[in-house]
Amino acid sequence: MLNISELYPLFEALDLYGLRKQSQVYQNQLINIWNEIVKEKRQAISCGSSDILDAMIDSGFLDLQINILLRELIGAGSDTTTTTTEWAMIDLLRNKGAMHKLQAELTSKFGENDIITESNISELPYLVACVKEALRLHSPTPFLIPRRALETYFNVDFRGQDFRIIPFGAWRRICPGLGFARQEIHLILASLIHYFEWSLPNGEDPMQLDIEDKFGVTLQKEKPLLIVPM
d(CA 52, CA 32): 19
Residue 163 lies in a domain: no
Residue 4 lies in a domain: no
d(CA 35, CA 116): 35
pTM above 0.85, yes or no: no
Mark whether 54 and 126 lie in a shared domain: no
Q: How many domains does the chain have?
A: 2
Mark whether 33 and 128 lie in a shared domain: no
Mean pLDDT of the region 183-201: 95
d(CA 134, CA 20): 33
pLDDT of 72 > 80? The answer is no
Mark whether 119 and 43 lie in a shared domain: no
Mark whether 42 and 91 lie in a shared domain: no
| pLDDT single digits (tens) 24-47 | 898 888 888 888 888 888 887 656
Q: What does the H/E/C string look like for 54-73? A: HHHHHCCCCHHHHHHHHHHH
Between 75-84, 105-114, 162-171, the lowest mean confidence (pLDDT) is in 162-171
